[in-house]
């Protein structure tokens, strides 16, 4: 820049910073903590999470029709935390009732035999596959 003395590559500018927190600076990412939200009753900021968030009391029932299942394993690929294949190469849900998880809906929607049904545990409304 015009009017400024040149420095060797990598040399710092006029401002000196030794890495210590600036006076009056609050906790933040540098100290390993997450930023805090402002205001009374503030809590640490959280990740947005999955596309489907769990509401209090919301649970889903997973049903696998083992007669209809053709053993494609697409459910295991879509939701490995929720499905495994048994010794007969049929899909098995690891838990009959789970909290909302987009991967469970994806598994039901991608099942080529439509052998997986996901319903709201409270209302019985079918969530996947879409009818």
Express each pLDDT in 51-60 by its tens digit.
555 555 599 9
User: How far is Cα of residue 122 from the mean position of the Cα atoms in its chain?
Assistant: 23
pLDDT at 8 over 80: no
Q: Is the entire prediction scored with pTM above 0.85? A: no
What's the pLDDT band for 41 if we cut at 50, 70, 90?
A: low
Q: Could you say which architecture CATH assigns to the domain 60-128?
A: 2-Layer Sandwich (3.30)
Q: For 110, phi and psi rounded to 5 degrees?
A: -95, -5
Instruction: Give every CB contact of residue 81 below 8 A, 6+ residues apart in sequence.
Output: 94, 101, 103
Cα gap 102→64, rounded to integer Å: 17
């Amino acid at each position: 820049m015009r009017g400024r003395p040149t420095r060797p590559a990598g040399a710092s500018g006029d401002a000196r910073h030794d890495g210590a927190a600036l006076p009056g600076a609050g906790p933040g990412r540098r100290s390993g903590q997450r930023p805090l939200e402002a205001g009374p009753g503030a809590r640490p900021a959280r990740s947005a999470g999955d596309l489907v968030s769990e509401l209090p009391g919301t649970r889903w029932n997973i049903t696998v029709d083992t007669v209809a299942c053709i053993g494609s394993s697409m459910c295991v690929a879509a939701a490995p935390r929720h499905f495994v294949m048994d010794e007969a190469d049929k899909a098995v849900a690891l838990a009959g009732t789970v909290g909302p998880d987009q991967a469970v809906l994806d598994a039901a929607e991608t099942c080529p035999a439509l052998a997986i049904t996901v319903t709201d545990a409270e209302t019985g409304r079918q969530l996947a596959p879409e009818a």
